[in-house]
Amino acid sequence: MNKRRRRTALVGVGALTAGLLLSSPEHAVAANLVQNPGFETAGTDDMPYCWEKSGWGDNDFSFQTVADAHSGAKAMKVTLTRRTAGDRKALITESAACAPAVSVGKQYDLGLWYKTTTPDANITVFRHDATAGWQYWTDLKTLDMASAWTKATVRTPEVPAGTDRITWGVSVYGTGSATTDDYTMDQVPDVVPPASCTGTSTQCADGSWSVLPTQNPVRSMHSVVLNNGKVLLIAGSGNSEENFNAGTFTSAVYDPANGTYKVIPTPKDMFCAGHVQLQDGRVLVMSGNKAYPVPGGHGYEGFKDSYVFDPKTETYSKTNDLNDGHWYPSATELGNGDVISFGGLREDSTGSVTAELWSDKDKQWQPLWKVNQTWSYWGLYPAMVLMQDGRLFYTGSHVFGNNIPGTGSAIYDYGANTVTQIPGLQNKDQRDQSASVLLPPAQDQKVLTIGGGNIDSNPDANRLTDVIDLKQANPSYIAGPQIPQGKVDLGNGKIAETGAQGKMYVSAVLLPDGKVLETGGGLHNRADPVYESSIYDPGSNTFDPVAADPESRGYHSSAFLLPDGRVMATGDNPGNGTWNHNVSIYTPPYLYKGTRPAITSVINQEWKYGDTQRITVDRPIAKAELIRPAAVTHSSDPNQRFVDLPLSVSGNNVDLNVTNNPNLAPPGWYMLFAVDAGGVPSVAKWVHLTGPAALSATAAAPHVHSFADSLSGKVSGPGEKRTSQPVSPTISGCDRHYGTVNVCVPTAFPRQVGKTAAARCAWLARNHYGRLKVNGGDDPLGLDRNRDGVACGKADVRRG
């Protein structure tokens, strides 16, 4: 856990957020773009011409021009003699006269010669945005310790839109020194244009969907892509009381290579459990369904049991118990391989206020006294995204009804045990089963939320999106572009959405070209499927409508990335209790853009933080990245992330520079993709980014930045210790007075439906609810007007 003290950033000569009036940049040419690259020309403030002091934090430091040069008479030495936080760096001066001009969409090769006495040094880049001014861009390469002059090279990502100049240098963030000399910067030549479209014009623009010939044999609402390329599909009882009473709990393993399924014995009802992949590739499954609700009695109940699924043996084994029951818990892996979990329903149907911590070292859940507690109730499946400094960002995406009190999003600091409210989330109480993703690349620390609704009030689901930049000192959500509208089936066939209609039950999938597919959804509580898919581009902040999944994908659906770059979508569980066993596959447009690049070798499958790892490719690539395999349910996969791997290129040999910050890429198995200049990805190779050895006391410290360090939102610490949060038995949005427990008659009908029995019964008929027995003597929705124990009979409708 991150327990470091936070401090306001202290930037040197150039304030990172201050806009400078720069002249229009000239296009880069094939020459060294760095002025005074060897520090030979004197400047001001005891610094060479076109170089400035920069950095932040609590440390003692010095900047020196020294005679121990690689060439010429001078070199730059930056030394830290004491450090609590922050870094120091000599940067190219943030001015029109000195900062190299760059072109949007181009890449640049950066090089320098260096000596270091610390492993805590890396190449850091800042960019000038025409609107926002100077700001941090990214860390590119960790420098190995070197007592003799050593050359370092690295290629930047494509220059983002709005950028006209960059500046860069070496950050020192641990005690010791880095001496540098002979900087170079060259624009990467344009590659051969990508191949022409290999499909139809529609496929090349919108991609295509297909429905697999073999159905999913289980009612799975949990999907986990395993490190062998197979997919674990967990059903438990599959939201079927009949299966629950019979003790029929199932999972299946799907093999995309041959399209087959293997049904796996499942020891407990893991329906609506939490799950996350551990750093060793096994899947931790926590809690699940202890009991279905009873009309007039208790609601759903969560048990304390926890299991681990092993992909090698395809079996479950029991762990120690959680401290509390958690039906619908969160699950977020931390940078040290531990897992933290919040929320869900306890064994008595009340809300759990107990945070749980899985120790990767001990391979067990920690006792309550070892876990920091705020006694906060975070709701069900609260989306908790790990930030680059170890704190957690609650995005506001959740399941069922209203959001948490306050602004609806927050930053939780485990070390300080404080919760700080974050503003800006639109319609916070209508983000039920919205989707949230940490946008590509994870280094940018931006989060997107998409859509949502509210099963308690059952309005039309919305089109809202929100984007937050967690690099800002005091971040706030800002409204993003609305998601495109699709077609909705209200029971009489598909019609175009109108007004502000959007969707809940959204699936969001990170794609290897750096974009996000959002797909599936419904307009109302477990009804009225919406057929719409689009691709979000983080660079342009826009959605592009693409082909829609032909299958309904509402409640209990999932969509996720396969290692071959396609997207798989499963499930749909409408309120009438049925289940869609059809499986859809989406082929994105990038797979219709010609031959794919191939990773022909990976020198080492075992990776460490701060490593340089070599791969070979069959032709030039523009970028490479690690994508964490999916572990998704109920629109929620807070561990999903795309981590950029800056390149050092020599022909077909490509050295990949791995982040040294485990909070950006928590330990575990990742899909490694190489992507060409046309956005066409390779088939993924699996690599293992390991934790404990890389996080030992002798390992280099991660380069943590002072992002989100001046929060102004309301701060709360631990509350008074308590047992639980009272929760209504109708939290699932279903009135259990009607039909079997598999059936969800909504507690609130869509607003377009009248309040008469006839109108409500007509809506239920259109949605294929069938015969509904009245449970008990109460009829809160007025559907059994003749009191014969059957809702929506002919007499009830006539009397309605």
For residue 12, the model assigns a pLDDT of: 40
Domains of the chain by residue range: 51-188, 599-689, 731-799
Reported CATH class of domain 599-689: mainly beta
What average pLDDT does the segment 378-404 reach?
A: 98
DSSP structure string for 95-141: STTTSPB--TT--EEEEEEEEES-S-EEEEEEEEETTTEEEEEEEEE
For residue 21, the model assigns a pLDDT of: 32
What average pLDDT does the segment 400-413 reach?
A: 98
Q: Which of 520, 387, 505 is nearest to 435 (CA)?
A: 505
Q: Which of 285, 307, 283 is nearest to 231 (CA)?
A: 283
β-pairing, 606-607 vs 685-689, is parallel
In angstroms, the first-to-last Cα distance of the chain is 59
User: Does residue 8 have a pLDDT over 70?
Assistant: no
CA distance 225 to 232: 6
Three-state secondary structure call for residue 636: strand
Q: Which residues contact 405 (CB under 8 A, 6 or more apart)?
A: none
CA distance 87 to 72: 28
CA distance 86 to 54: 11
For residue 692, the model assigns a pLDDT of: 67
Q: Is the peptide bond preceding residue 441 cis, with omega within 30 degrees of 0?
A: yes
Largest CA distance in the chain: 99
CA distance 345 to 2: 28
| pLDDT band at 30; cut points 50, 70, 90 | low
Alpha carbon 227 to its chain's center = 18
Tokens of 637: 């996969």
pLDDT tens digits, one per residue of 427-474: 999 999 999 999 999 999 999 999 999 999 999 999 999 999 999 999
Q: Which of 555, 494, 548 is nearest to 524 (CA)?
A: 555
DSSP structure string for 456-497: TT-PPP---EEEEETTSSS---EE-PPPPP-EEESSSSEEE-
User: Does residue 798 have a pLDDT over 90?
Assistant: no
* SS percent in the chain: helix, strand, coil, step 5: 5, 35, 60
List the Cα angle 407/388/641 in 5-degree steps: 85
Q: Residue 241: how many CA atoms within 13 Å on its side-chain side?
A: 13
| pLDDT band at 27; cut points 50, 70, 90 | very low
- Residue type at position 293: P
Three-state secondary structure call for residue 774: strand
CA distance 795 to 477: 52
pLDDT tens digits, one per residue of 535-586: 999 999 999 999 999 999 999 999 999 999 999 999 999 999 999 999 999 9
Other CB atoms within 10 A of residue 499 CB: 8
For residue 268, the model assigns a pLDDT of: 97
- In this structure, which topology does domain 51-188 adopt according to CATH? Jelly Rolls (2.60.120)
User: Does residue 25 have a pLDDT over 80?
Assistant: no
Three-state secondary structure call for residue 642: strand
CA distance 146 to 158: 29
pLDDT tens digits, one per residue of 716-770: 999 999 999 999 988 999 999 999 989 999 999 999 999 999 999 999 999 999 9
Total H helices, total E strands in the chain: 4, 59
pLDDT tens digits, one per residue of 65-106: 999 999 999 999 999 999 999 999 999 999 999 999 999 999
| pLDDT band at 121; cut points 50, 70, 90 | very high
Averaged pLDDT of the chain = 94
Q: Which of 666, 642, 672, 656 is nearest to 515 (CA)?
A: 642
For residue 799, the model assigns a pLDDT of: 60
For residue 295, the model assigns a pLDDT of: 83
Q: How far is CA 128 from CA 105, 123, 157, 162, in A?
A: 14, 17, 15, 8
For residue 800, the model assigns a pLDDT of: 53
For residue 31, the model assigns a pLDDT of: 82
Other CB atoms within 10 A of residue 82 CB: 9
CA distance 688 to 550: 36
Find the Cα–Cα–Cα–Cα dihedral 183, 96, 646, 517, rounded to 10°. -170
Q: Listing from the earlier edge strand, what are the strands of the sheet with 435-438?
A: 435-438, 446-450, 465-469, 478-479
Same fold, 51-188 and 599-689: no
Q: Which of 119, 99, 100, 101 is nearest to 170 (CA)?
A: 119
Other CB atoms within 10 A of residue 764 CB: 27
Task: Read off the DSSP letter of residue 184.
Answer: E
- Residue type at position 93: T
Q: Do 91 and 54 meet the contact criterion of CB atoms below 8 Å apart?
A: yes
pTM of the complete model beyond 0.85: yes
List the Cα angle 174/177/183 in 5-degree steps: 115
Q: Do 356 and 364 meet the contact criterion of CB atoms below 8 Å apart?
A: no
